């Protein structure tokens, strides 16, 4: 086990200048994010923004029927709580921890102070937001046009990109919630991938064995978002993937 995570494990925090880091880091608070924890509910007024290190958080939209769909994934590559600096304070989405780990959080007011005093953070946040928008939009398209098989591949890639190794702890039931499909649909798709030797799974633990193959089997949506993110934040993610 490594010791406590460093703020720089978050790519956005790491991308700040030394001066900005010196101003902000004293105000960061390390928090543990257990699986399933809800960081905010639809409409909640946010108090903090969260910069994950090794945790993953899903932004979920929940329908009146209770059905839900994940519109984006945030890990060490980003932050949760853009509504705070976008000015809206809240959003209609829910933030749920998809993979347990740690994050650093910062009071919204501190963030805004830094914003107004120095443009650097603002520029970074805006660029990140644009990357996030791309992910959301591509998700919308993906939901419309691609099969569960393809979407599962895309989802697995998004997840392991944000984790330290090729393994993730996640039941098929939870994945189904994220993708907005039936659990049985995920079972079938995952079964196919296991038969192909692309992944291996067992009661809530999934290991990706053949990443290149996974990328081939995925729809284009993964690559589109990745390319755009690399373009928008090149120095932030020199190599998001291993």
Phi, psi (degrees; rounded to nearest 5) at 166? -90, 15
Q: How far is the CB of 54 from a second copy (least distance, A)?
A: 26
Q: Which stretch binds a second copy (CB under 8 A): 29-37, 98-106, 167-175, 223-231?
A: 223-231
Q: Does residue 51 sit in helix, strand or coil? A: strand
| Cα-trace Rg, the chain | 18
Q: Which is nearer to a second copy, 46 or 163 (CB)?
A: 46
Taking CB under 7 A as the binding criterion, the range among 24-32, 71-79, 141-149, 211-219 that sits at the site for DNA is 141-149
Contacts of 232 (CB under 8 A, 6+ apart): 127, 128, 130, 131, 134
Q: What are phi and psi of 105, to 5 degrees?
A: -120, 160
Nearer to DNA, 23 or 183 (CB): 183
Tell which one of 39, 69, 73, 96 touches a second copy (CB under 8 A): 69
Element (H, E) at 131: helix 119-145
Tell me the helices (H) and strands (E) count for the chain, helix number first.
10, 10
- 198 interacts with DNA by CB under 7 A: no
Instruction: Report if residue 25 touches a second copy, rule: CB under 8 A.
Output: no
Residue 182 binds DNA, judged by CB under 7 A: yes
What three-state secondary structure class fits 50?
A: strand
In the list 17, 22, 109, 116, the residue contacting a second copy (rule: CB under 8 A) is 116
Residue 169 φ then ψ, to 5°: -105, 110
Is residue 118 a contact residue for a second copy (CB under 8 A)? Answer: no
Choices 46-54, 121-129, 177-185, 221-229 (CB under 7 A): range interacting with DNA: 177-185
Q: Taking CB within 5 to 8 Å according to partner kind, which of a second copy, DNA, none is near residue 133?
A: a second copy
Per CB under 7 A, does 197 bind DNA?
no
What is the full DSSP assignment across 59-119?
A: EEEE-TTS-EEEEEEESTT--B-HHHHHT-S--S-EEEEEE-EEEEEEEHHHHHHHHHH-H
190, interface contact from DNA, a second copy, none, CB < 5-8 Å by kind: DNA
Structure token pair of residue 137:
């939009």
Binding of a second copy by 20 (CB under 8 A): no
Q: What is the contact surface with a second copy in residues (CB under 8 A)?
A: 59, 61, 63-65, 67-69, 71-72, 82-83, 85-88, 91-93, 116, 119, 123, 126-127, 129-134, 136-141, 143-145, 180, 220, 224, 228, 231-232
């Amino acid at each position: 086990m490594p010791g406590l995570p460093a703020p720089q494990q978050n790519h956005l925090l790491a991308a700040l200048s030394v001066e900005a880091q010196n101003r902000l880091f004293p105000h960061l608070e390390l928090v543990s994010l257990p699986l399933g924890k809800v960081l905010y509910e639809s409409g909640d007024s946010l108090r903090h923004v969260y910069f994950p290190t090794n945790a993953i958080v899903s932004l979920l939209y929940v329908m009146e029927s209770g059905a839900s769909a994940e519109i984006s994934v945030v890990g060490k590559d980003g932050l949760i709580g853009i509504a705070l600096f976008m000015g809206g304070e809240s959003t209609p989405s829910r933030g749920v921890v998809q993979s347990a780990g740690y994050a650093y959080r910062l009071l919204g007011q501190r963030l805004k102070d830094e914003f107004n005093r120095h443009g650097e953070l603002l520029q970074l946040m805006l660029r990140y937001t644009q990357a996030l928008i791309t992910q959301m939009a591509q998700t919308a398209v993906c939901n419309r046009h691609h099969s569960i098989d393809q979407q599962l591949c895309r989802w697995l890639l998004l997840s392991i990109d944000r984790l330290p190794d090729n393994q993730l702890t996640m039941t098929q039931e939870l994945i189904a919630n994220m993708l907005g499909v039936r659990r049985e649909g995920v079972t079938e798709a995952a079964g196919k991938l296991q038969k192909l030797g692309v992944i291996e799974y067992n009661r809530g633990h999934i290991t990706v064995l053949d990443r290149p193959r996974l990328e081939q089997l995925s729809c284009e949506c993964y690559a589109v978002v990745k390319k755009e993110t690399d373009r928008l934040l090149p120095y932030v993610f020199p190599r998001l993937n291993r």
